Chain A
Amino acid sequence: MPKSHLELSQLGISFPTPKGAFVALQNVNLDIAKGEFISLIGHSGCGKSTVLNLVAGLLQASSGGVILNQKEINAPGPERAVVFQNHSLLPWLSVYQNVELAVKQVFRSQKTKQEMRDWIEHNLALVQMSHARDKRPAEISGGMKQRVGIARALAMQPQVLLMDEPFGALDALTRAHLQDSLMEIQARLNNTVIMITHDVDEAVLLSDRIVMMTNGPAATIGEVLQIELPRPRNRIALADCPTYNHYRHQVLSFLYEKQRKVEVLPNAGSIKATAVAKTAEKRA
């Protein structure tokens, strides 16, 4: 068996709270191959961001660990670039300067000034943002900001690209457009990607494997679904594809039947399973 590229092994974390330790994750095990596209899906608050932050090194595991290329991860680093949920561009820098900050940091000793300039331009072109290179984040739309966030992450030439609901706040059209761009870029660069999403269609369309998480506390991986659809994938052709719909159905049934969200009603004090499937699907 080949040694895995990225391995989450017995991963667990608990947060200290006023009411004692809160076990957020327990026993998360996952082997990810190089160039694989993984989606993390699960109900809100189950611990998806926590998994991502552990891989990023922004959080420290309480038990187990994350191993990248046979080395344990215990700090953040540019070889694991993060696309943050709310883009997190520096508002006082232009689009170009935001990417430049990352490129200078990573390639300071490897590229000449001209090479760095070309590389920044190249990555802005990749996400079709060259036209707005001198604009500040406040002057561009949400979708554009998210693209710049992706360009910044790609420009770091990361081994692993971590994305926390990258398209969550976007309208459907922009989202579809960015999903297509992401598929193209990933096919070309062959990055390993872990993406968190709420969107079942997005997960099926983009992923090689969908990792479905159980509800917290002590959340872990519930099921893993291998998506064996040929690439390049076309969203319109797939809409009528029975295999596609089968995958889609499996994810939906995991989320809304097996891991149906249990909500505590504050007044009744009793635990009631509420049919949140409808509202949750609307949210997704």
Chain B
Amino acid sequence: MSTIPTQWSRVRRYLPAQQQLNNWLKQSFVSATGVAVFVLLWHILASQIITSLGSFPGPVQAAQQWSVLIAEHKAEKARETAFYQRQQQRNAATLAANPDAVVSVRPYNGRPTFFSQIVTSLYTVLTGFVLASLVAIPAGIVIGLSPRLYSAFNPLIQLFKPVSPLAWLPLVTILVSALYQSDTPLFARSFLVSVFTVSLCSLWPTLLNTIVGVSNISPDLQNVSRVLQLNWLTHVRRIVLPSAVPMIFTGLRLSLGIAWMVLIAAEMLAQNPGLGKFVWDEFQNGSSDSLSRICVAVLVIGLIGYALDRLMLQLQQRVNWDKSATLR
């Protein structure tokens, strides 16, 4: 009796999965074609362009430099390990001769490689972004809840929002060197300058979107809160924050994108460690390989920006209560 419905449900379950797979394959194929066409065009056009440093690098040269960068990184790591090993041996010998001797381990001061610059940039951008969010979300909630505060702050927000990182940078540099004076600094000044510049430029989308999300809470839900006589904190936690979460995340994603772009520019301009400095150094270097290395850097910067956005999207999907919302 039950075989027919059971079989049918099996077929039905199977069909969409098959369709999904097909759609996914189709989409991947289209994307792959796009990338292939781009690489091909790049290859053809690059060889036609002659620069002062020889012909413009194509995908082949970029791929070569990618392997060179990996090799350089490995070599640097090997040198570092060897350096510490030598010290250890020397210290062991000293201690063997005289057990009371005071030995120390000096840190290795090698040249930063492409990959250590990536780590520096990621660390810097995330610090700046987290700092900006920690300021922007609470400030956005407080400002969004009060029409009076909103009127007070709106002109300032509109004024500072469009300011380019290049304009903030000198001010931040001067301020950091004036205010951060310590004999045993916890953070390098250049790191703080990058972090604050990133924060200043990237906090606006989060701030504005939080304000909009908070001030557009449905009046019905506000009435629920009033009838229940929720206190301010409960009102914010149970009503305001959840209903503003979609807008807050829209802002956070915009902010993270801006933070990443601003960071590269700031590193280039201020010669602060990171990917921006890598690009700038290669540009100053001016060897025939430099352009290929810059091409690699450009692609990596793009890929990291994309990965950061996907990460935020994942987080948004996890946190958002509205599971039916399509996020892209």
Contact = CB atoms under 8 A, between A and B. Distances in A.
Interface of A: 56-58, 76-78, 80-82, 84, 86, 88, 90-93, 101-102, 105-106, 136, 138, 156
Contacts of B238: 90, 93, 101
A90 B239 contact: yes
Contacts of B226: 57-58, 76
B321 interface: yes
A80 B227 contact: yes
Considering the complex of A and B, which 9 residue pairs feature the smallest CB-CB distances, nearest first?
A: A92-B321, A88-B220, A92-B242, A76-B226, A76-B227, A105-B228, A88-B224, A82-B227, A58-B223
Nearest to B238: A101
B242 A84 contact: no
B229 A76 contact: yes
Nearest to A82: B227
8 contacts: A56-B223, A56-B227, A76-B223, A82-B224, A88-B223, A90-B239, A91-B322, A92-B322
Contacts of A81: 227
Nearest to A58: B223
Contact of B227 (A77, A86, A90, A92): A77
B194 to A, nearest CB: 37
Given A84-B220, A86-B220, A92-B243, 13 more contacts: A58-B227, A76-B226, A78-B227, A81-B227, A82-B224, A84-B223, A88-B224, A92-B322, A93-B238, A101-B238, A102-B228, A105-B229, A105-B230
A252 to B, nearest CB: 31
Nearest to B234: A105
B177 to A, nearest CB: 46
Nearest to A106: B228
B324 interface: yes
A92 B228 CA distance: 17
Contact of B242 (A76, A82, A90, A105): A90
Contacts of A92: 242-243, 245, 321-322
A120 to B, nearest CB: 14
A156 B229 CA distance: 12
B154 to A, nearest CB: 23
B156 to A, nearest CB: 30
